[in-house]
C-alpha cells in the first residue's frame, strides 16, 4: 500500500530562519513552501517538512541520513561551508570524523542548528551496515 508512495520526512525546529539557512543555503535543499507552521523542502525527489515547534529536546540518535558516493570529499566540502562533524569517544573515527564498519561502510555524523543528529553514509561492498555503533 504505502511502499509505492513517496516518503515524507519531518524534523522539528525552534528557529525556522536558522533552519532555512542551514537546509536551503548550506545543504542546498529546494524551498517549496513556507508558512507559520514550518517549511517544505525538496532534494533529489525526497520531501522534508521542517515543523516549527515551541520547545524541543533533540534525540541522541540519528534522525535523518543521506547516502553519498565519496564521503571524504563531501565532508571536506561541508567543512569548508562551516559544518562541524561529531566525534565520539566510544567508536574509532578518523581525523575527518568517519567511522568505518567491518564491511567497509563509512559513516559520519553532524548536527543541524537545533541539535538534530544527521548522518552521511558511503556504503561498503554489501550495501548495508553490518554493525551499527551505539553512539549515545
Q: Is residue 135 part of a domain?
A: no
**How many CA atoms within 13 Å lie on the side-chain side of 100?**
10
Predicted confidence band of residue 128 (pLDDT cuts 50, 70, 90): low
Q: In this predicted structure, what is the pLDDT of residue 99?
A: 96
Q: Tell me the CATH number at 29.
A: 3.10.180.10
pTM score of the predicted model: 0.87
Q: In this predicted structure, what is the pLDDT of residue 24?
A: 97
Residue-wise pLDDT for 29-87, tens only, equals 999 999 999 999 999 999 999 999 999 999 999 999 999 999 999 999 999 999 999 99
Q: In this predicted structure, what is the pLDDT of residue 3?
A: 87
Measure the CA–CA gap between 135 and 66, rounded to whole angstroms: 18
Asked if residue 14 lies in contact with residue 55, where contact means CB atoms within 8 angstroms, the answer is yes
Q: How many domains does the chain have?
A: 2
Q: Is residue 134 part of a domain?
A: no
Residues 39, 65 within the same domain = no
**Positive or negative CA dihedral for 106, 130, 86, 49?**
positive
Q: In this predicted structure, what is the pLDDT of residue 136?
A: 43
Q: In this predicted structure, what is the pLDDT of residue 129?
A: 52
Residues 72, 35 within the same domain = no
The arithmetic mean of pLDDT across residues 19-36, rounded, is 96
Residue-wise pLDDT for 84-100, tens only, equals 999 998 999 999 999 99
* Burial of residue 13 (number of CB atoms within 10 Å: 0-12, 13-18, 19+): buried
Amino acid at each position: 500500500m504505502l511502499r509505492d508512495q513517496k516518503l515524507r520526512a519531518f524534523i522539528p525546529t525552534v528557529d525556522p530562519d536558522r533552519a532555512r539557512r542551514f537546509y536551503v543555503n548550506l545543504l542546498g535543499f529546494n524551498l517549496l513552501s513556507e508558512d507559520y507552521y514550518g517549511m517544505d523542502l525538496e532534494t533529489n525527489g525526497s520531501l522534508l517538512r521542517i515543523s516549527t515547534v515551541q520547545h524541543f529536546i533533540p534525540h541522541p540518535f540519528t534522525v535523518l541520513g543521506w547516502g553519498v558516493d565519496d564521503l571524504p570529499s563531501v565532508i571536506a566540502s561541508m567543512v569548508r561551508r562551516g559544518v562541524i562533524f561529531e566525534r565520539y569517544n566510544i567508536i574509532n573515527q578518523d581525523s575527518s570524523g568517519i567511522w568505518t564498519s567491518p564491511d567497509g561502510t563509512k559513516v559520519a555524523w553532524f548536527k543541524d542548528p537545533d541539535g538534530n543528529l544527521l548522518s552521511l553514509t558511503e556504503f561498503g561492498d554489501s550495501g548495508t551496515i553490518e554493525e551499527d555503533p551505539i553512539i549515545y
